[in-house]
């Protein structure tokens, strides 16, 4: 008989108790911090929600200049050499984040959204969560490995608090760190911190909205295939979104370098461009655009190019130097696109909107598990989850190795036909065709290729004669 080893279960029990305490403390602190930010954001955005067009056109460049000045001078206070990127903090900085710059991004996001910039509210919350958790880790003098975990659970707490989806938010904060890999040792702290933060935010009066899909029939294979098609289309929409944000950011960067412009002027130029565009694009696409998402999920018809207008405004806002989140825009873009595409396949627009939301978040952020869980928490129901899952995974594959987070690592390739170096940031890694695929293609061209093209040419000639 093997000897009973009591050491391991005692150690694991101690680990559970350790993270119950640390993650609960983190969740309370992060929940309070994000709630303060969200109340401030709601106050200022409500104050500017119904301003006339001329004032909106004035606020955009003013907000851009204020963003530029705040970010330019504020980050000069950061003498630590540490980046305030949560992904970089976990992968490169042993869980350390600069504390002096904690308030810069939340204030910049309030300015951006109150002035009409098209962005999201979750970025500042994840930043608050990561920064506060990093500070808690330093207070408790955690080692580098524990410091990484507590920062990750702080980020999860921030996402859970802002979205009102404690489980999905917790998983998102862990899954977003790398493509194709989830650190399971991060999950328990993340979930505890996420649930705690969510409950604290509810206690402090943060409102959350949930939706219910219309009564769906029993599982249908045809409906499942149709929702996968919606997922593929929304994956392409996410592809456009990711690439457009990157292209606009690169264009503004080149303009600044070639013209030698003072950095705070770049978001000012972005604000002027946004002010000109809203003469032809409805102002509904400015700010968070949550009323558009509500209409799409309610089944009201959305324009086919609605997702493009929102993408364009978000790309200019964030690419020019405004600060804001990039996940809430994915919600809006996904619901608009899914709503518009659904009638083409004979689907309910509200179901298409729900599927589109999950598909765009799964693909643009490379977080398919968190996106599906988010759909479950936002929409409820087990039958609908089947359709959300199929569409989300399809979109995640279609977008390939792209992401709204350039620092995101690639742990594993999404296809056996593509080859990547593991644990390289997306912005630095080049994707290559696998050797096996190249060898098969060479053999095909050498043996079957010429005969195939001769047969195709003969068929074309025959069809022309008929």
Question: Tokens 């399809």 correspond to what residue?
Answer: 394
Residue 319 has a pLDDT of 95
For 43, phi then psi, to 5°, come to: -60, -50
Q: Does 229 or 424 have the greater pLDDT score?
A: 229
Question: CA 112, CA 16: separation in Å to the nearest integer?
Answer: 41
Name, in order, each residue with C-beta under 8 angstroms of 49's C-beta and a sequence gap of 6 or more: 287
Average pLDDT, the chain: 88
- Write the pLDDT tens digit of every residue in 274-328: 999 999 999 999 999 999 999 999 999 999 999 999 999 999 999 999 999 999 9
Residue 454 has a pLDDT of 64
Query: Percent of the chain at pLDDT above 90?
Result: 66
- Write the pLDDT tens digit of every residue in 386-397: 899 999 999 999
Radius of gyration in angstroms for the set of CA atoms belonging to the chain, rounded to a whole number: 24
22-31, 120-129, 264-273, 410-419: segment of lowest average pLDDT: 410-419
pLDDT surpasses 90 at 416: no
Burial of residue 290 (number of CB atoms within 10 Å: 0-12, 13-18, 19+): middle
Name, in order, each residue with C-beta under 8 angstroms of 11's C-beta and a sequence gap of 6 or more: none
Place 432 in a pLDDT band, splitting at 50, 70 and 90. low
Q: Full-prediction pTM beyond 0.85?
A: yes
pLDDT surpasses 90 at 463: no
- Write the pLDDT tens digit of every residue in 66-123: 999 999 998 887 777 788 788 888 888 888 888 878 889 999 999 999 999 999 998 8
DSSP secondary structure, 307-348, as one string: HHHHHHHHHHHHHHT---BSSHHHHHHHHHHHHHHGGGGT--
Q: Of 112, 131, 168, 156, which Cα lies nearest the Cα of 19? A: 156
For 321, phi then psi, to 5°, come to: 125, 0
Q: What distances in angstroms separate CA 275 from CA 10, 109, 279, 415, 435, one per listed residue? A: 62, 18, 7, 42, 50
Place 437 in a pLDDT band, splitting at 50, 70 and 90. low
- For residue 121, the 8-state DSSP code is S
Strand 409-410 to 424-425 pairing:
antiparallel
Residue 424 has a pLDDT of 75
Q: Of 461, 454, 453, 403, which Cα lies nearest the Cα of 427? A: 403
44-53, 262-271, 404-413: segment of lowest average pLDDT: 404-413
138-142, 271-275, 414-418: segment of lowest average pLDDT: 414-418
What's the rounded mean pLDDT across residues 231-245? Answer: 97
Q: What distances in angstroms separate CA 35 from CA 119, 136, 163, one per listed residue? A: 19, 18, 12
Q: Does 69 or 381 have the greater pLDDT score?
A: 69
Greatest mean pLDDT among 179-183, 258-262, 308-312: 308-312
Question: CA 22, CA 183: separation in Å to the nearest integer?
Answer: 18
């Amino acid at each position: 008989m093997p000897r009973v080893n009591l050491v391991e279960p005692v150690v694991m029990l101690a680990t559970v108790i350790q993270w119950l305490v640390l993650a609960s403390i983190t969740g309370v602190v992060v929940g309070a911090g994000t709630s303060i930010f969200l109340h401030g954001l709601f106050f200022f955005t409500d104050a500017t929600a119904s301003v006339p067009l001329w004032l909106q056109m004035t606020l955009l460049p003013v907000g851009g200049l204020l963003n530029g000045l705040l970010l330019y001078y504020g980050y000069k206070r950061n003498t630590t050499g540490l980046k305030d990127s949560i992904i970089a903090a976990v992968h490169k900085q042993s869980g350390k984040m600069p504390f002096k710059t904690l308030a810069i991004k939340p204030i910049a996001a309030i300015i951006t959204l109150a002035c009409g910039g098209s962005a999201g509210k979750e970025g500042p919350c994840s930043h608050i969560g990561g920064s506060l958790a990093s500070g808690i880790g330093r207070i408790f003098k955690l080692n580098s490995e524990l410091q990484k975990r507590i920062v990750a659970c702080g980020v999860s707490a921030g996402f859970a608090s802002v979205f009102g989806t404690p489980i999905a938010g917790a998983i998102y904060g862990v899954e977003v760190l790398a493509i194709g890999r989830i650190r399971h040792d991060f999950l328990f702290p993340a979930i505890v911190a996420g649930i705690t933060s969510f409950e604290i935010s509810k206690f402090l009066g943060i409102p959350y909205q949930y939706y219910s899909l219309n009564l769906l029939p029993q599982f249908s294979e045809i409906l499942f295939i149709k929702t996968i098609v919606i997922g593929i289309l929304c994956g392409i929409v996410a592809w456009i979104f990711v690439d457009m944000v990157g292209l606009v950011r690169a264009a503004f960067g080149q303009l600044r370098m070639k013209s030698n412009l003072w950095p705070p002027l770049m978001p000012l130029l972005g604000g002027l461009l946004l002010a000109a565009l809203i003469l032809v694009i409805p102002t509904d696409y400015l700010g968070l655009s949550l009323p558009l998402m509500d209409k799409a999920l309610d089944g009201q018809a959305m324009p086919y190019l609605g997702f493009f207008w929102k993408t364009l405004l978000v790309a200019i806002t964030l690419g020019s130097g405004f600060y804001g989140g990039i996940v809430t825009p994915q919600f809006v873009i996904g619901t608009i696109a899914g709503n518009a595409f659904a009638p083409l396949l004979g689907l309910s627009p509200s179901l298409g909107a729900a599927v589109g939301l999950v598909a765009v978040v799964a693909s643009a952020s490379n977080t398919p598990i968190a996106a599906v869980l988010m759909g479950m928490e936002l929409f409820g129901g087990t039958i609908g989850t089947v359709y959300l899952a199929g569409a989300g995974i399809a979109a995640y594959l279609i977008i390939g190795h792209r992401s709204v987070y350039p620092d995101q690592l690639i742990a594993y390739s999404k296809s056996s036909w593509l080859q990547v170096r593991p644990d390289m940031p997306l912005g630095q890694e080049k994707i290559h065709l696998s050797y096996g695929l190249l060898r098969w293609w060479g053999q095909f061209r050498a043996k079957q290729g010429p005969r195939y093209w001769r047969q195709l040419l003969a068929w074309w000639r025959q069809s022309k004669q008929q």
